[in-house]
């Protein structure tokens, strides 16, 4: 099952069931007079919100699923600078519009690669990136949650 990204930025991720090996201690005595009960199945998916544990890694995996033939991500200095400008523009937009900010980018491919590189690094990488954006562009650093959400929106816009 693939990861699904919802329009609100949440991700539906598959849950790998835990393997359980039976032991003698696990033996169950069945009461033949008992009413049969339906087996309760464990959930097969989980909904992750931006900023929640495992979200950044799941978003990076979702992005990889969109184009599995893509080469490993590489961040360049110019791509990272444009990515910072792009994230700042979206964050500062009164209507949080992604399309105009993406159109203003000179090298969309390099910006996308830089953002993918941030995601692959996990939550600490996202936090460091948000601090760098605030330092380079001004203002307060965005939360990891907000930064990750914007990165997901930008990557979706860049890939369409």
Mean pLDDT of 76-85: 89
pLDDT digits (tens, 9 = 90+) for 101-133: 889 889 998 999 999 989 888 888 999 999 999
What CA–CA distance (Å, rounded) separates 26 from 131?
51
Mean pLDDT of the chain: 82
Query: For the residues of 74-105, what is the DSSP string, one character each?
Result: ---HHHHHHHHHHHHHHHH-TT--SHHHHHT-
Q: Pick the closest to residue 133 from 121, 151, 156 (CA basis).
A: 151
Domain residue extents for the chain: 73-159
- Is 134 in contact with 140 (CB distance < 8 Å)? yes
The pTM assigned to this predicted structure is: 0.66
């Amino acid at each position: 099952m693939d990861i699904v990204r919802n329009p609100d930025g949440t991700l539906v991720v598959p849950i790998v069931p835990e393997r359980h090996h039976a032991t003698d201690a696990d033996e169950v005595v069945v009461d033949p007079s008992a009413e049969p009960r339906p087996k309760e199945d464990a959930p097969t998916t989980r909904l992750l919100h931006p900023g929640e544990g495992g979200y950044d890694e799941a978003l990076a995996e979702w992005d990889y699923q969109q184009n599995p033939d893509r080469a490993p991500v590489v961040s360049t200095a110019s791509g990272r600078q444009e990515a910072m400008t792009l994230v700042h523009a979206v964050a500062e937009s009164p209507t949080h519009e992604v399309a105009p900010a993406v159109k203003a980018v000179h090298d969309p491919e390099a910006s996308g690669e830089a953002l993918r590189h941030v995601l692959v690094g996990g939550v600490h990488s996202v936090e460091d990136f948000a601090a760098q954006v605030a330092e380079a562009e001004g203002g307060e650093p965005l939360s990891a949650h907000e930064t990750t959400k914007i990165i997901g929106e930008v990557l979706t816009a860049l890939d369409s």
